[in-house]
């Protein structure tokens, strides 16, 4: 079987060395010094450059590309001249100044919230809101601050005790003696239900009063 030799680089495709050489020549042609009749203005905090120089009449894409290239070059020159350059563990960082251009909001300013029925009543009577202490209360037995409610909350105290006293006089329908833990858990759930009923009743009264 005869050996067949193939060209590794077709004639119509430039070699990598030739392409890099052409790119290097183009970069040398473009000077890093940019001078314009109207000086650029910069906002380095936003990495922005503003060019007020008009484009030539009947400008082509090449004119737009050249103007964009000059803007990018001028921005880099300004950053490397004005901004401090510091070394960091990841390399070299440039510290940008605080932006000075006000950007428009993405969304409109939220409308003022309508006061609730209680807030209107409190303002009328001069009642001031009390400062909330947060969801923390000091537990004397544990000697630390614990949550008032939620996971491990103070309101669940006694429900998870590993040892409780059983009242032989209180027997359920199953014949088991009364369990203090079960009773406390049932009482807490009943308190929650009562509170929810009160909140729903207050909401209904507030809706009727606002009509």
Where are the domains positioned within the chain? 21-94
Model confidence at 154, pLDDT cuts 50, 70, 90, reads: confident
CB within 8 Å of 87: residues ≥ 6 apart: 93
pLDDT of residue 128: 83
Mean pLDDT (the chain) is 77
* C-beta pairs of 123-126 under 8 Å, 24+ apart in sequence: none
pLDDT of residue 73: 94
Highest mean pLDDT among 19-33, 97-111, 169-183: 97-111
Residues in the chain: 211
With a cut of 90, say whether residue 83 has pLDDT above it. Answer: yes
pLDDT of residue 68: 94
Per-residue pLDDT tens for 33-46? 888 999 999 999 99
pLDDT of residue 95: 92
With a cut of 50, say whether residue 184 has pLDDT above it. Answer: yes
State the Cα–Cα distance between residues 85 and 99, nearest whole angstrom: 18
- pTM, to two decimals: 0.39
pLDDT of residue 185: 79
**Number of Cβ within a 10 Å radius of residue 74:** 20
- Residue from 203, 161, 199 nearest 182 by CA: 161
Average pLDDT over residues 43-53: 94
Model confidence at 26, pLDDT cuts 50, 70, 90, reads: low
Average pLDDT over residues 76-97: 90
Whether residue 146 contacts residue 137, with contact meaning beta carbons closer than 8 Å, is answered with yes
Q: Which two tokens stand for residue 18?
A: 């030739």
| % of the chain exceeding 90 in pLDDT | 26
| Partners of 92 in beta bridges | 87
Whether residue 170 contacts residue 178, with contact meaning beta carbons closer than 8 Å, is answered with yes
| Axis-axis angle for helices 180-210, 117-125 (nearest 10) | 80
Per-residue pLDDT tens for 156-176? 776 666 666 666 666 554 445
Model confidence at 14, pLDDT cuts 50, 70, 90, reads: very low
């Amino acid at each position: 079987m005869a050996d067949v030799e193939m060209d590794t680089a077709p004639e119509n495709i430039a070699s990598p060395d030739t392409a890099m050489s052409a790119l290097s020549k183009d970069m040398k042609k473009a000077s890093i010094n940019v001078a314009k009749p109207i000086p650029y203005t910069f906002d380095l905090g936003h990495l922005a450059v503003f060019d007020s120089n008009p484009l030539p009449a009947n400008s082509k894409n090449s004119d737009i590309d050249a103007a964009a290239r000059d803007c990018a070059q001028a921005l880099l020159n300004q950053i490397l001249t004005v901004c401090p350059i510091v070394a960091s563990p990841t390399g070299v960082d440039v510290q940008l100044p605080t932006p000075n251009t006000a950007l428009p909001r993405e969304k409109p300013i939220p409308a003022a919230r309508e006061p609730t029925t209680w807030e209107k009543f409190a303002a009328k009577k001069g009642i001031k809101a009390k400062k909330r202490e947060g969801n923390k209360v000091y537990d004397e037995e544990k000697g630390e601050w614990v949550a008032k409610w939620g996971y491990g909350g103070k309101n669940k105290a006694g429900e998870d005790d590993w040892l409780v006293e059983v009242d032989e006089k209180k027997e359920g329908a199953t014949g088991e003696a009364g369990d203090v833990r079960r009773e406390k858990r049932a009482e807490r759930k009943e308190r929650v239900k009562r509170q929810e009923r009160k909140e729903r009743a207050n909401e209904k009264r507030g809706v009727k009063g606002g009509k």
